[in-house]
Structure formats: structure tokens, C-alpha cells
Structure 1
Amino acid sequence: MRLTRVTLFFIVLILGLGFFRLIDYLLQDLEFQTLQATEESMVDTANILAGYVETEGSLAGLSEIFDNSYNRDIEALIFKQLKTNVGLNAYLTDDKGIILFDSGDPKNIGEDFSRFRDIRLTLAGKYGARSSRTDENDKNSSVMFVGAPVHKDGNIVGCLSVYKAQADVLPFVQERRRDIIFATIFIGSGIIILIGAVFIWLFRPIGQLTDYARSITRGERRSKPAVGLGREANTLANALHAMRESLEDRTHSDKYIQTLTHELKSPLAAIQGAAELMDEDMPAADRAHFLENICNQTARCERMIHRLLELSSLEAQTHLEHSHGFDIVALCKKSIGQMTALAEANDVTIKPDLPKRLPYKGNELLLGSALNHLLENAIHFSPKKGKVLLHLENHETEIILTVQDQGEGIPEFAAERAFERFFSYRPDDETKGNGLGLAFVREIANLHLGRVNIFTPEQGGTCAFIALPLIPENR
């Protein structure tokens, strides 16, 4: 998934740079556009006032207009900014640029303003406007000026300029700047989150399917992963699962045909040899012996085929089926009852060491079969008057079920192969086992996500155990 993370990183980086450039452009252009809009309204105001002067021709009337405006109570909420006073002023010059009237600073009356751009260009019949700072060291001290010509008899006889401090406009610019930054960050974050969600939605199932395919390669038993509702991911998951089942079926078929053929050779050869000898004249006792041998070998073949079918059925399961809650202590007592007759026949005693009660959730029938196999093996390997110990212990994370006999123990090489199919270690017993019992136990433990082991402890004998994990619902 490294490529996914790298791809997502570059997408986020490109989007981040793009949104940064967008914010930078919008913020740089915001103040300029706001001032443009303000200048446009000032042009209208200047021309209206110039028209008033042309009509009335009275400085007193112009002064009265501004005095009345400044005395008005204003409470205008404009884009979250409260305006409480008139921020617009005006001055009037003659055709030489000499100040005749100034609503903002009467001390300027009589001053020559012809050098300023708004006056000079307006008196020349052009559009005159300027922006000047009252404090050269303070960029926020700029004042905007817009001039309009005053006509008389078709000639320009003066200039009326309106002026407004940019500081009156800056709060609106700052508010809009905050809105733009917030909106851009919000939209950008939403897009990044959406892209991340899409990547997770697409690539998380791919990661799960990759792990699933690797588990198939390792020969692990895993159920088909839940990959969500995506049609493509589910199609791929179903295809992988179907491929796995097909491969496993073919592999199992080939493997079991080969192993079954190999293992049936010995009993079939014994049956054939005994049958051929029975065609000859022999004492009745010998004939009975050969007939018994045929029956024993036939039973052996039957047990082997039956056990192989059980083992094949277990290995075909990808997850534990028919799981329910039960008392594992009661299961142990039930297995002891089932094995008591075999133990008495071999002059062996089963000694349990069990808690009063231990609830567990799993397949009770399979775990009972696994325990029976371990007890049966322990009984067969125990000496006369020996004891088979059955111990159940509850740890924090798992339940450990241990079966220990007092036999000669199992060699290390045999312990390493004990759970392989058809491996049987019975050095002093003429009746060879089918080598499927412990393989059967291992498959049952695997289905319960547990583990099995067999070894010779320091005190001697053979110890086999099944460790079953305690998932939250079993704790």
C-alpha cells in the first residue's frame, strides 16, 4: 500500500499548492476590487455634488449639506460591520485650483491644490483621481480622491473632489478576507477528506485481498475477507475465493489419492497373501488365524478410509462451523466417560484435574472428538497400572487442555512429525495406527484458531495439549 500513500500525498500536496495560489490571488485582488467599487461610487457622488454646485452656485448650501450629514444618526450594519457616521468629504476649487470649500479640513481654504492629480487632470477636462497618504510610513493612512468638473457656460470653472479614507473600507476587506480563507480551507479540506475516503474505499479492499492471496500462497486457512459493498472488489474477492477452492479441491484430491493408494498397499497385500494361503490345505487353527488377519486388515482399511474422509471434510472448511456456547468441563467429563471402558481394558486409570465450570464457545462435537483422540493415544501408550492425566487450565488469553501419559515418551524426531498425515510412531506395538488421529486433532485446533503440540516432559511420558484462544465473547 506504499504506492497508495505516496499517491495520496502528492494529490494532497498538489491540491494544497493549488488552493494556496487561489487564496493568494483572491486576497491580493480583494482589496483592489473593493477600492475600485468604492471609487466608482465616489465618481457618482462627485458628479452629483458638482451638478448641485452648477445649479445652486452656493457654497453655503454645500456646507449645509455636509453639516446636516455629519449630524445624522446612522446605524447601518453592512456585511457584519456597523457604520455610524458619514465618512465622505469634499472640497471645491476655482479654475486655478485654489480651495474655496473643504468639508473635512476648513484650514485648507485658500490653499493651492492645482499640483494634485485629481485637481490638475479634472481642470484639464480629464478624469482626475488620486490616492495619497497622510502618513508616509503608514500604508493604512491612504485617502482616495475623485474629482468632477464644475461647468459654467460650457467652460470648466472649478473642480469638486470627494475624498474618503481607505481605513473606512479596510474592515470590509478584512472581513471578506476571513470569509475567503475559511471557505477555501473548508472546501479544500472537504475535497482532501473525500479523496482520502475514496482511496480508502478503493484500496483497503485491495490490501485485504492481497493479504488473502498471500495467505493462500502460505497454505493458511482463512475465510473470504469482507471487502464492503463495492461491486468490483466483491467480484475480485469472489474470483479469488473460487480460485482458492478450485485449487484446494484439486490439490486435496491428488494428495489424498496418492496417500490413500500408498497406505492401502500394506493391508491389501496382507489380505491378498492370507487369501492365497487359505487355498492350501492347512490346520483349522492356521486357517482361523489367517481369517482373523483378513478381518483385522479389512477393519484397518475401513478405519483409515473413515478417518481420511473426516480429515478431508475438516480441511475443506475455511472457518469454524456450528459454533455455540458450552461448558468445556462437562465436555471433558463426557470424554472421560467414553474412554473409561478402553482404559479399564488396558488397566489404565484416567485422572482428571478440572475446574468446576469453564464456559467456551466453539464446536463441541469436534473438540470432543479431538479430546477422545488424545485420550485414546495416551491410553495405548501407557503401561499397565499407569495413569493418564487430564488437566484443564484457564489462562488470560487461552484455555489449555493437556493430556499426559506415563509411557516411555515420544522421541524428538517423532514429535516433530506427529501431526503429519499417516505418520504413526508405535515401536513396541505390532498394530500400526493409521497416522490420521493427531492430524485430525491439529485441524480441529486450527479451525478454533488454536494450536497443538506434543512433547516429552522432564518427568517422562508423553504430553499433548490443545490451546484454544479466548476471544472476547469467551472471556
Structure 2
Amino acid sequence: MSLSTRLLLGWFVIAGLATVLFLNSILNQVPSSVRQASEEVMVDSANLLAEVAEQHWQQGFAADSPFTTAISRYLARPLDAQIWSRHKTGTELVIYLTDLNGTVLYHTDPSQIGADYSRWRDVSLTLRGEYGARTTRIDPEDDTSSLMYIAAPVYQGDQLVGVLTLGKPNASLHPFITLAHGYFWQRGGVILLGALLLGAGMAFWLNRSVRRLVDYVEKVRHGERVSPPQLADKELARLAAATEAMRREIDGKAYVEQYVHTLTHEMKSPLSAIRGAAELLQEGDVPAPMRERFLANIDGESLRLQRLVDRLLSLAGVEKRQALEQTESIDLAEIAAIELEAKRPLAERKGLTLALDSGADCTLAGDRFLLEQAISNLLDNAIEFSLPGGTIAVHIGANDSTLSLRVRNDGPAVPDYALGRVFERFYSLPRPDGQRKSTGLGLSFVREIARLHHGRVSLNNRTEGGVEVELVLRKEDQTGEGHPSPV
């Protein structure tokens, strides 16, 4: 199970439990809250009817009395009231009057007249001057059969003469309670759905950030040079920055160690030659021709060391750069023409012919100095490996997004075992004319320049003979953040 799925499930369980617990606590309060609201209205109504009963107390409450007649007409009154989801069509109140002994003087149920209600809480508490109320079930086994009774004292002047009680079936409140339950569950479902969507968004956002960080670490682990991702979350951004700092520190140590090792290896041969020549010159009488040869050897090996150090410094400067700092619009055909003209004296010494073929639009955004160095190294390599009297052809082609520069020569094919290693640092092959190997840094330098321009470089043997090196570069500006995949 992925991290985002676990986060989403965890969030949904927590949000779901919190929503259900909250709704249960609210819904458990709904019935009592509705009854409390109803009781408050019934208190006002009972006291109002008590004042009306006081006005008819002396007349009594016989079947033809004004009070009884009014209540009877009320009970028979048809109603047509749409109260939210409930359609009220009839009256439901129960009304009765008792004297100071609790004897029923009037009741909406005539069969109860004369009954002793002195033990009912509503009557007994009111006669004692307290708030009288009770809830009683008609059927003890049926909770929906309960009625709520609210009593109010009846006075004659300042003297208590009786009690008026107003009763209402609790079943009449159930539609409102049910409506409230449905409303809260509906809103709870919306809240839960919103929490789920929010959790999904948070999980996606966090998983996307973590995935970008993991992808970055994986690319670093495989040796790719990439910039750390730009993350909105501060903690993940700190982790990315710390990972990048650690990578640079580790790379720096490994880089120095590798360079010291390879530089030491490459310097052994010229240093041994210089030391041997110097020892021979110190032996005493050395013939002039030998002295000249030894001095030339020392000078040549010194120049070789100088070239090695210079190339290493240039390569190190390119390798430590993550991206181009700034770019400009460059005509690749113009650079190639200039470099070909600069290499013409060297090519003429071997009787080589130089040719350039380019399209109409060869412009791209890049670093002019680095591209000049790359083309110069490719031409040097082509000239060194060409046979006398051969041809070096440079062809520049373009498509919608890239430029392709191909350098071809008529030299011997590169051995199969070396095709995968020609771009390695310090790897070099013998020249066909017997000259010494080079520093082995030229093609490695070209590869790094191609990387900075988000391009690629490759070397292949041509079927018709000779070798071709292809440098492919993107046309667009490469100074933006991030590192697109090489073309």
C-alpha cells in the first residue's frame, strides 16, 4: 500500500470517527432540545389558560359553561398548517382543571371528571407552590405514547384555588426530531465528503512532494547531475536542501579522490621521462646531439604535463556546474566555420580537406565559449585520428527543437571494445600516425558541455569507413530551473 493511500485511509478513518462521534453527541441532544423548546411554549400557554380559567371560576365548568364550550370548539377546530415537514390538521392538547384537593373539575376527556389527580406531580407540586411538570406514558411499553404535562396555578385574587394543566403528546415532536436527524446526517455526510476530498488533496500533494524528493535521490544515486526539487513544504524543502548539501560534500570528496588518483597515474610517465633525462644530463660529458634530445624530451614532457593540468582544470570547472548561468543566441554554423578556419593550418600539415555543410537556421540559446571549446575539441580529435589526404566534413542539421552537429573523418574505425569508453576521463587510443596518446580529456570535456546544454554526444563507426561524432543540442533557453531529460 502506497504512502498516499495509507495517509488517505488514516485521514478518512480519523475524520469519519470524529464526524460520527460529533453527530451522535449532537443528535442525542436533539430530542431533549426540541422538548425543552416545546415545554417553554407550553409554560406560557398553561399560564395564559390559567388566567382565562380564573375569569370563569365562579361560573363553574359544567358542560354548557363558556369555558367548556370554548375548549370544545377549540378541540373541534380544523387546522391546515404546514410546519416544515409536518402538516398539522388537528388539535392535540389535553387540558384539565383540578381544585385544591386535586379533584378534576374539567377534562378534555369527560370520563376523567371527578378523578383524584392529587398524586400526579404536576398537580401536587403546583399546589405546594412549585413548578409542576411531568411526562407520563399511556402505554408503559410504548415510548411514543408519552405526553408532557405542564401545570399553572389558578388564583382568585391572591388566593390559590386550583391548578390548570396543559398536556401535549411527545409523538407530535417526532417529525421535527426526525427532520433534525436527517438534516444533521446530511450535513455530516457533506462534511465527511469534504474531509475525504481534502485528505485526498493533502495526500496527493504530500505524496507528489515525497515522490519528487525520492526521484531526485534516485537520480543522484545513479550518478545523474540534477538540481534538488523546489518543494512548497518547508520541512521537505529542508530535507531536499540537506540531501543536496550531503550529495555535494560526498561528490566533492569522491571527485577529489578520483582526480588525485587519475592525475597521479597520468603524471607518472612524463615525470619519469623528465627525471631520467635529467639524471643522464647530470652524469657529465654528454654528447651535444644527446643533450639536445634529452632537453627536447624534458621540454616535451613538461608541455604534456602543462596540457594535462590545463585540461583537468577546464574539465573540473565544467563538471562542477549544474546548469548554464546565462545564455545567448548563437549561430552554431558561424562558430563551426570559425573553428574550421582556425584548424586549417593543422589540417594542411596532414593534407586534410575541411568541409562545412549547414542549413538555413542554426541558431540556439547557449554558452558561446563552451560551444567553441566543444567544437574545437571535436575537430582536434578528428584531425588527430585522420589519415593523411583524408577529408573532415562538418554537417549541421536542424529540426523543430534541436540542432545536430556531425563531425566525420576518414580515419580507422574505433575498436568495438573502446566505443563505450571514448568519453571516459583519461581514456585515449593510439593515433594512426604513431603519435603519442592525448590526455584523454577532450571528448569527456565535450560530454560535459553537452550535458550543460541538455544535449548528448555520441561516437559511431561509419559503414562506408571512418568515424562520426554527433553533438545534439536543444534550441531553447536552458537557464530555467530544473533539468529536463537529455534529448
| Cα displacement (A) at 1:242 | 3.5
1:467 aligns with 2:472: yes
Q: Give deviations 1:416-472, integer Å, cap 9, x for gaps.
A: 111111111125222321111111111112223332221213222112122334668
Which residue of structure 1 aligns with residue 482 of structure 2? none
User: Is residue 93–residue 159 contact of structure 1 (8 Å, CA) maintained in 2?
Assistant: yes
Moved more, 327-336 or 255-264: 327-336
SS in 1 for 2:440: coil
Cα distance change of structure 1 residues 299 and 60 upon mapping to structure 2, 3 Å threshold:
same
Which residue of structure 1 aligns with residue 129 of structure 2? none
| Cα displacement (A) at 1:355 | 1.8
User: Is residue 125–residue 149 contact of structure 1 (8 Å, CA) maintained in 2?
Assistant: no
Moved more, 176-185 or 376-385: 176-185
Q: Which letter maps to 2:41?
A: S
| Cα displacement (A) at 1:311 | 1.0
* In structure 2, distance between residues paired with 1:87 and 1:336: 109
Alignment of 1:312-351 (within 5 A): 312-351=316-355
Which residue of structure 2 aligns with residue 217 of structure 1? 221
Cα distance change of structure 1 residues 224 and 120 upon mapping to structure 2, 3 Å threshold:
same
| Cα displacement (A) at 1:15 | 2.1
| Cα displacement (A) at 1:36 | 3.6
Pairing partner for 1:60 from 56, 66, 70: 66
Which residue of structure 2 aligns with residue 450 of structure 1? 455
SS in 1 for 2:354: strand
Q: Which letter maps to 2:355?
A: K
Pairing partner for 1:243 from 235, 243, 246: 246
Which residue of structure 1 aligns with residue 13 of structure 2? 13
Q: Which letter maps to 2:39?
A: E
Pairing partner for 1:253 from 250, 253, 256: 256
| Cα displacement (A) at 1:287 | 4.7
Which residue of structure 2 aligns with residue 105 of structure 1? none
| Cα displacement (A) at 1:310 | 0.7
* In structure 1, distance between residues paired with 2:477 and 2:177: 60
Which residue of structure 2 aligns with residue 441 of structure 1? 446
Query: What RMSD in Å do the two structures reach over aligned CA positions?
Result: 4.8
Which residue of structure 2 aligns with residue 49 of structure 1? 49
| Cα displacement (A) at 1:271 | 3.1
| Cα displacement (A) at 1:306 | 0.7
Cα distance change of structure 1 residues 168 and 331 upon mapping to structure 2, 3 Å threshold:
farther
SS in 2 for 1:222: coil
Q: Which letter maps to 2:260?
A: I
| Cα displacement (A) at 1:250 | 2.6
Provide the aligned length of Structure 1 versus Structure 2.
Answer: 456
User: Which runs of 5 or more residues in structure 1 are unaligned?
Assistant: 103-107
Cα distance change of structure 1 residues 363 and 67 upon mapping to structure 2, 3 Å threshold:
farther
Cα distance change of structure 1 residues 45 and 62 upon mapping to structure 2, 3 Å threshold:
farther
Q: Give deviations 1:273-295, integer Å, cap 9, x for gaps.
A: 444555544364x5544443333
TM-score for the superposition, normalised by structure 1: 0.76
Cα distance change of structure 1 residues 290 and 132 upon mapping to structure 2, 3 Å threshold:
same
User: Is residue 323–residue 363 contact of structure 1 (8 Å, CA) maintained in 2?
Assistant: yes
TM-score for the superposition, normalised by structure 2: 0.74
Cα distance change of structure 1 residues 172 and 70 upon mapping to structure 2, 3 Å threshold:
farther
Q: Give deviations 1:211-259, integer Å, cap 9, x for gaps.
A: 44444433322234434472x5555444443433333333222222222
| Cα displacement (A) at 1:7 | 4.1
Moved more, 248-257 or 393-402: 393-402
SS in 2 for 1:417: coil
SS in 2 for 1:226: coil
User: Is residue 331–residue 368 contact of structure 1 (8 Å, CA) maintained in 2?
Assistant: yes
* In structure 2, distance between residues paired with 1:460 and 1:98: 126
Which residue of structure 2 aligns with residue 34 of structure 1? 34
User: Which runs of 5 or more residues in structure 2 are unaligned?
Assistant: 60-64, 126-132, 480-486
SS in 1 for 2:420: helix
1:163 aligns with 2:206: no
Q: Give deviations 1:177-218, integer Å, cap 9, x for gaps.
A: 5367537844884698389649956x7666555544444433
1:146 aligns with 2:149: yes
Which residue of structure 2 aligns with residue 299 of structure 1? 303
